[in-house]
């Protein structure tokens, strides 16, 4: 069983036990508010985030391997090739190097964003368990004389992104992303003040639900900050910055003055082989993959807008 499934099973189990308790105490308006709370606590899977981070690290490895083995090798192969075409092609290779550097920074930033999301989910789980613990303590104490429960719910989720936002040594895309995420959570109120303060079993359940709804609201604040970070990161690989990660192809290949025949060999070496006469691109523009279900906007205003322009022109 996956870690997520284990968590979900426990949350649904606890939900059912609290529903049972509410039914024993007369349910009232409490019962229907219990399932949405535990449904919210089930959301998020930190283990999947670690899998994604593994994939991103693998992508970084491949990018850097390409940088070392292919781009470096191409520059060596260009030794002795001079002229406008060579300069143009060399410029293209250098832009590709920069693009790989930028993509690596973006991958690092994406890893930080994903780990921030995972930290929010873990903090939410911790808060959820503390809340359940306190509610059970309250109900268990119900047998005592003159009992009254007053237990503070300390919200771990409230400050979880604060640590991310204070990362100081980052550079490039990560700095921008962290700054945006930090501003997004600066107005967050937190749930540290929430308490279970009741003198009846139903009162305990009511306070548990109110405090739980506070935790969920805080999680929404934190995840919206994570979303803001993702949007900021997307800015680095789209729009005007798209050319930085996907440099334009060298002009030499499609220049009007280009003579394919000049790529032939000497007459003697050419022999009876025909000289190249094709005037189309020597290296054709790669075809764009067909759009997936999420490539087109769903809005009424511009339904055909390409949402993922980094795939290149059609």
Partner 1 sequence: MNSEELNRRAAELTGRAAEVYSRVHRREETLRAARERAVAATGEASSPDGSVRVTVDAGGMVTALDLAPSALGSDPSRLAALVVRVAQEAAGRARAAVREVYTPLQREGVLRDAPVLLPEPHRGAPPPPRPRPQPRDDDFDRPVLRDEGW
Site residues for partner 1 per CB under 8 A = 3, 6-7, 10-11, 13-14, 17-18, 20-21, 24, 46-47, 122, 125-126, 129, 132-133, 136, 139-140, 143, 145, 201
The CA distance from 206 to 198, in Å, is 9
Q: Which helix (H) or strand (E) segment is 149 a member of?
A: strand 149-152
Instruction: Work out how close the CB of 160 gets to partner 1 at its nearest, in angstroms, rounded to a whole number.
Output: 12
Instruction: Work out how close the CB of 86 gets to partner 1 at its nearest, in angstroms, rounded to a whole number.
Output: 54
Instruction: Work out how close the CB of 203 gets to partner 1 at its nearest, in angstroms, rounded to a whole number.
Output: 15
Instruction: Work out how close the CB of 129 gets to partner 1 at its nearest, in angstroms, rounded to a whole number.
Output: 5
What is the token pair recorded at 4? Answer: 């997520």
The one-character DSSP state at 102 is H
The CA distance from 182 to 186, in Å, is 6
* CB contact burial 249-280 (16+ within 10 A = b; e otherwise): ebebbeeeeeeeeeeeeeeeeeeeeeeeeeee
Q: Which residue, 144 or 301, has its beta carbon nearer to partner 1?
A: 144
Instruction: Work out how close the CB of 204 gets to partner 1 at its nearest, in angstroms, rounded to a whole number.
Output: 11
Residues pairing with 197 in the sheet: 150
Cβ atoms of residues 157 and 109 within 8 Å: no
Q: Which residue, 75 or 200, has its beta carbon nearer to partner 1?
A: 200
Q: Which residue, 101 or 159, has its beta carbon nearer to partner 1?
A: 159
The CA distance from 127 to 11, in Å, is 13
């Amino acid at each position: 069983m996956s870690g997520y499934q284990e968590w979900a099973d426990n949350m649904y189990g606890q939900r059912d036990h609290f529903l049972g308790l509410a039914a024993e105490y007369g349910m009232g308006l409490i019962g229907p508010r219990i399932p949405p709370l535990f449904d919210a606590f089930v959301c998020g899977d930190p283990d999947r985030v670690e899998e994604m981070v593994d994939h991103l690290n693998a992508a970084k490895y491949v990018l850097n391997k390409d940088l070392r083995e292919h781009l470096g090798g191409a520059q060596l192969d260009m030794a002795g090739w001079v002229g406008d075409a060579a300069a143009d092609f060399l410029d293209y290779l250098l832009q590709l190097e920069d693009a790989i550097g930028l993509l690596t920074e973006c991958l690092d930033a994406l890893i930080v964003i994903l780990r921030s999301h995972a930290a929010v989910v873990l903090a939410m789980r911790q808060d959820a368990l503390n809340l359940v613990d306190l509610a059970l303590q309250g109900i268990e104490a119900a047998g005592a004389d003159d009992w009254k429960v007053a237990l503070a719910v300390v919200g771990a989720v409230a400050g979880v992104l604060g640590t991310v936002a204070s990362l100081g040594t980052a550079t490039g895309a990560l700095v921008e992303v962290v700054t945006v995420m930090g501003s997004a959570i600066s107005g967050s109120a937190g749930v540290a003040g929430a308490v279970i303060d009741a003198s009846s079993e139903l009162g305990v359940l009511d306070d548990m639900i109110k405090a739980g709804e506070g935790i969920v609201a805080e999680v929404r604040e934190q995840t919206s900050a994570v979303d803001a970070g993702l949007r900021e990161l997307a800015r680095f690989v789209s729009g005007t910055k798209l050319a930085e990660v996907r440099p334009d192809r060298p002009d030499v290949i499609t220049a009007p003055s280009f003579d394919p025949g000049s790529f032939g060999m000497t007459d003697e070496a050419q022999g009876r082989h025909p000289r190249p006469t094709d005037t189309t691109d020597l290296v054709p523009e790669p075809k764009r993959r067909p759009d997936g279900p999420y490539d087109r906007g769903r809005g009424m205003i511009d339904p055909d807008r390409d949402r993922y322009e980094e795939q290149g022109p059609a």
